[in-house]
Amino acid sequence: MDNKPLEGLLVLEFSQFMAGPTAGLRLADLGARVIKIERPGAGEGGRQIAIKNIFVDESSLVFHTINRNKESYAANLKDENNLEDIKKLIRQADVLTHNFRPGVMEKVGLDYENVRKINPKIIYATVTGYGNEGPWATKPGQDLLVQSLSGLSWLSGCEQDGPVPFGLAVVDMYCATHLTQGILAALLKRARTQKGGLVEVSLLESALDMQFEVLTTHANDGRKLPQRSTARGAGHAYLSAPYGLYKTRDGYMALAMGNVADIAETIGLSGQSYQDASAWFSRRDKILEEFASMLCEKTTAEWLALLEPKGIWCGPVNDYHRFFQEDGFIGTGMLQQVVLQDGTSLTTTRSVYQIDGEHLYADRPAPKVGQHNTSIVHDYLEN
């Protein structure tokens, strides 16, 4: 796509691992030129963080998924000459991001107060684990730790399970979305005021924002703890029946919100017994068990054929093998090929954005450490 929304913007990414670089990926996909500032040799720490211990072209597969469509400039921030070059880049940049612990950027003189003296129009965007101040400021900001601290791990699963973490770095990803939104908002403000600004987000606050519905409920229901169901497959600690996953004869199916009496009639139970809507939560666990006892008798496809024509919100529970074969998934065109530096190809997801009717595909691979030093020097540092 030509003329992407952020074309012409220069982003300097000092961020590493997940949240900050994922925000950089969004900005790059939208057209910004994103330059990773990395340590010579080893590069940023995320190059060595691997899922299933998979490494591709000398860096982890995770690094490749988060850092495609970016450039790399290797610089030693403890070296005066390197640091002076970085300051020259800052003078020309629109955005700077970092997710170092509090105090790190201050030590090299690249904290917000110093950077805005170099470039008063820059958007300086940071991610911390728990904020720059306070009793938790120096704690390690890591996704599982924040899930656990914030109460998030007590929302999934059933009562017998104990805490259940997400199978994703969900806080990092949510925080990256917040950082991206904050940067875009600050850029809009700069267009009006001609002044830069400071954008700050934290993993902890993002984890709390993820839970805004249930935290609001908790704050207004007498501070009762989440009531996870005793029934296996219950989908939400705060929602009534039938919300959950149910075993069928050949797999599983999901039932979302709906009229319990209507669903009961459709699956062969007496709808009259479920007319009292107030009991859909007070008797939630019992209703889930009663529905489960019926739904295991037919296949998922048979139940969907009965339920969907009546407008009941339901669906199959797919694993990745099934989902990748679904027409609905194929139709999204969410997968793309990226050709790596060594000539091999990597399948990954495209940008989620659709602009002016076009999806944003970017097949440029993640960079090697310092790969673009020469071109960046030519474009920004020779004059």
CA distances from 268 to 261, 271, 287 (A): 11, 9, 14
**Strand, coil or helix: what is 37?**
strand
| Intra-chain end-to-end CA distance of the chain, in Å | 31
Q: Are strands 95-98 and 71-74 parallel, antiparallel or unpaired?
A: unpaired
**CA angle at 317 for the pair 311 and 318, rounded to the nearest 5°:** 125
Catalytic residues: 172
C-alpha 75/C-alpha 43 separation (Å) is 9
C-alpha 260/C-alpha 143 separation (Å) is 37
> Six-digit token pair at 137?
């400021």
CA distances from 304 to 219, 241, 248, 263 (A): 38, 18, 11, 12
Beta bridge partners of 252: 247
HEC string of 245-276?
Answer: EEECCCCEEEECCCCHHHHHHHHCCCHHHHCC
* 77, HSE (Cβ side, Cα atoms, 13 Å): 16
**CA angle at 61 for the pair 348 and 345, rounded to the nearest 5°:** 50
